[in-house]
Amino acid sequence: MKSNASNPKRSDFPSNQDTAIVPLETVASEKQLEAARSQLLVYAKDLKQLLDKEEKKTLQLKQAHAQLLTYAKDLKLALNAEQHKNSELEQSYTDTMLRLARASRYKDEETGAHIERLSHYAKSLALHIGWDAKRAQGLFAIAPMHDVGKIGVPDAVLGKQGPLTDEEWEAIKQHPVLGASLLSGSASPLLEMAKEVALTHHERWDGSGYPCGLQGKQIPIAGRIVMLCDLYDALRSRRPYKPAFSHVKATDIMLNGNERTKPTHFDPSLLEVFREMHHQFDEIYSTVKETKDSPKPSP
């Protein structure tokens, strides 16, 4: 009789119902999902590191921006202080030169009203040719310094009532050079313009002026403006060699010429502007009066 041990029972073997067979496709999908999860974890780690770096960089940028704002504020304060200092220094230079200009006029026939009118003429003409307000105001400030060099001309020559000798005329013709010398050596743009005006306000467009015989645009524009304005007011004012002229006569002389003054003496573009706005010159002359005992203009 055979032993049961050598003859296993059918129940000892697993049946299809006890052991499920997993399809190969499912196994592959699970592996892919696991690989994807692993890759996502790597991406998440890298992204966190990147975000941490960006946050650090953003913080650094914010700190740098805050520091720049502080620097900008300090720089603005420093610039304002420097501009104030420069403005005070330039005003000090200007005040000194104006005192010299006033001192020089006591030696000459020019009056305080002439000096004041000259500033207004020059500013008005400058604005009409397109200068901005700041530049025109600068010309207004320095125009009175045009004859500051007369302080170095002998009183006997400046006050002489009769005709000048050749030697005396040469002394007069040196006052632009003397004035430029007095105004030189400053870093101020305003006084640099004043020096140009002092040196060139007797130069003429056609080259017949003094002291250098400059011609055309060799003459700085500020000098050309002051020359025209100075001549107009000289025609309106009494001089040892002439009476005071009316506005009509002064304008006619400038536009058409006479034995002393020629239209070719002036920058032609400035003369055309004067032709258009000469009534403003008359208004300025009428507003800024001489003293009550000044002679009336001749017709």
Show which residues are catalytic: 150
Residues 6 or more apart whose Cβ sits within 8 Å of residue 230: 118, 146, 201
Secondary-structure percent of the chain, ordered helix, strand, coil, rounded to 5: 70, 0, 30
Burial of 284 (0-12, 13-18, 19+ CB in 10 A): buried
> What is the residue type of 118?
L
Alpha-helical runs (H) found in 133-188: 133-142, 155-158, 166-172, 175-183
Residues 6 or more apart whose Cβ sits within 8 Å of residue 215: 204, 205, 206, 207
